[in-house]
Amino acid sequence: MAGKKERGLWELYSKDPEKADAEIWERKPTSFSRRGFLKKTGLASMSLAIGSQIPFFRYMPDGFIPLALAETKNKLIIKGKEGLIVLNDRPINIEPYAHLLDDEFTPKEKHFVRNNGLPQNGRIEADKWKLTVEGEVRKPLQLSLEALKSRFRHHTYALQIECGGNGRAGYNPPAKGNQWKFGAIGCSKYKGVRLADVLKAAELKSSAIYTGYYGSDLHISGDSKKVSISRGTPISKALDDHTLIVWEMNGEPLPALHGFPLRIISPGWPGSASPKWLKKILIRDRIHDGMKMDRYRIPKYPVKPGASVPLKDMAIIESMPVKSLITNPQTGIEIKQKNKLKIRGHAWAGDRSVRELHVSIDFGQTWEKANLRKPVNPYAWQNWSATLQFPTQGYYEVWARATDSAGVMQPMVVPGWNPSGYLNNAMHRIAVNVS
Ligand SMILES: Nc1nc2c(c(=O)[nH]1)N[C@H]1C(S)=C(S)[C@@H](COP(=O)(O)O)O[C@H]1N2
Ligand SMILES: [Mo]
């Protein structure tokens, strides 16, 4: 039973969500736990906990934790990324709240950061930088930044990068690793050259089937003989017109945290296939076996939550699944019942595009189609918007659900459990209090 202590939490939540979140976790009420489900709760106690009536209470799934009671708090701050959630500071892992991703293209200040090791930032001299292309090629290359920029045609695209572990926090039992919520996704504009053009110049041998990428960051142990991460993709992805070697993000040199001076973007695939501080492209005659190639995999068949799955039964993740965010308003908004609420966000679908976006204000009983824009180019996220009218006062949640070009929809609840907590593309929702 939610006690007196929860009374008024909604009020605090709508004024100062971070403080309210902190209070929720510090109180550790017995009626619900962070990962557990609410014990069967009646309308009266649920309303009391939220501090408001709940018009569509009857549609709430059993054990459902209303969003107003289920967020986390922020402690650390990283320079240039103020206001974002710091999940880890060694290595640096930071994500924005969903409402900070409202821009059409993600500014560097709001783009998530996922580091596996220790970047050598501050020790990087761009004019001495050399990119090596070797392995299964007839003409190995060593390119300075100048050579790369002058030899190949430039392309600028808006490209989405999402960490394979985005949404990991939703899995139960929990997976090890950064507990990403919704923010490990960004879509910024990048300028660079096509990886395909560079590989053409290096002349791929017919034995070339996979790439292996190496950056200059050190292993987290500081051991210079170890690599922090080295992943790659099948050659077909490397040859895609939108797989770029980039040096510019949103019209500026690539920021240090995002891979200055060079990185690859393999858009729509787990972010781990987009190496930062790029030094070497190794063309392989087999599936790359670099550091962490055994990670970013999911079971080939559905498994029981908590199961351990042998590596031979795990498949490498390629395209990321369809997903969307509500980026405006911020969750916890308070509105008057007579007013309409304009909401908007983004939707994306890995290698696919998004065909439709629907929203619901009654816990999924009915759905309304939102306006959905086409992507500015393939692999850019798509903006959507909708206007809502709430029938009565009370606590509502707005849910958003994208459908991709193949007809695949986002699930409402977290999808199939997997040991490392990848690919959680459950719907995003915001809390709305109508008075
Ligand atoms: N060299 C290097 N490249 C890397 C990583 C890394 O740790 N080192 N992390 C990868 C992972 S797991 C992700 S999700 C993306 C994140 O890119 P971002 O930090 O620019 O958001 O970078 C990828 N590229
Ligand atoms: Mo990642």
For atom 23 of ligand 1, the residue with the nearest CA is 272
**What pLDDT does residue 46 have?**
76
Q: Do 332 and 399 belong to one domain?
A: yes
Ligand 1 centroid–CA 115 distance in Å is: 5
For atom 18 of ligand 1, the residue with the nearest CA is 113
Instruction: Report the length, in residues, of the chain.
Output: 435
Judge whether 95 lies within some domain. Answer: no
pLDDT band at 333 (very low <50, low <70, confident <90, very high): very high
> For residue range 204-218, what is the model confidence (pLDDT) as tens digits?
999 999 999 999 999
Q: Do 271 and 389 belong to one domain?
A: no
Ligand 1 centroid–CA 414 distance in Å is: 24
For atom 10 of ligand 1, the residue with the nearest CA is 272
Distance between CA atoms of residues 168 and 181, nearest Å: 7
Judge whether 215 lies within some domain. Answer: yes
> How many separate domains does the chain show?
3
Q: Do 259 and 167 belong to one domain?
A: yes
Q: Do 131 and 270 belong to one domain?
A: yes
**What pLDDT does residue 41 have?**
63
Judge whether 152 lies within some domain. Answer: yes
Ligand 2 centroid–CA 297 distance in Å is: 12
For atom 5 of ligand 1, the residue with the nearest CA is 115
Burial grade of 14 (CB within 10 A; 0-12, 13-18, 19 or more): buried
Q: How many Å from the N-terminal Cα to the C-terminal Cα in the chain?
A: 25
Q: Do 170 and 275 belong to one domain?
A: yes
Pocket test for ligand 1, best of 214, 229, 292 (most atoms within 8 A of CB): 229
Ligand 2 centroid–CA 248 distance in Å is: 20
- What percent of the chain lies above the pLDDT cut of 70? 88
Q: Which residue in 124, 123, 120, 119 sits closest to 91, CA to CA?
A: 119
- With a Cβ cut-off of 6 Å, ligand 1 is lined by 111-117, 161, 163, 215, 217, 228-229, 258, 271-272, 274-277
pLDDT band at 42 (very low <50, low <70, confident <90, very high): confident
> For residue range 334-348, what is the model confidence (pLDDT) as tens digits?
999 999 999 999 999
Judge whether 337 lies within some domain. Answer: yes
Q: Which CATH number goes with the domain that contains 196?
A: 3.90.420.10
315 beta partners: 298
Mean pLDDT for 410-430 is 95
**What pLDDT does residue 27 have?**
39
Distance between CA atoms of residues 224 and 133, nearest Å: 21
Q: Which domain holds residue 253?
A: 126-295
Q: Do 151 and 239 belong to one domain?
A: yes
Q: Do 166 and 287 belong to one domain?
A: yes
Q: Do 362 and 257 belong to one domain?
A: no
DSSP 376-397: SSTTS-EEEEEEE--SSSEEEE
> For residue range 228-282, what is the model confidence (pLDDT) as tens digits?
999 999 999 999 999 999 999 999 999 999 999 999 999 999 999 999 999 999 9
Q: Do 263 and 361 belong to one domain?
A: no
Q: Do 138 and 265 belong to one domain?
A: yes
**What pLDDT does residue 61 have?**
73
Tell which phi-psi region holds residue 297, choosing left (phi > 0), alpha (psi between -120 and 50) or beta. Answer: beta
Judge whether 205 lies within some domain. Answer: yes
Q: Which CATH number goes with the domain that contains 403?
A: 2.60.40.650
Q: Which residue in 19, 37, 28 sits closest to 8, CA to CA?
A: 19
Q: Do 289 and 374 belong to one domain?
A: no
Note the ligand closest to the C-alpha atom of 186.
Answer: 1
Note the ligand closest to the C-alpha atom of 165.
Answer: 2
pLDDT band at 87 (very low <50, low <70, confident <90, very high): confident
Judge whether 407 lies within some domain. Answer: yes
Judge whether 96 lies within some domain. Answer: no
Q: Do 285 and 362 belong to one domain?
A: no
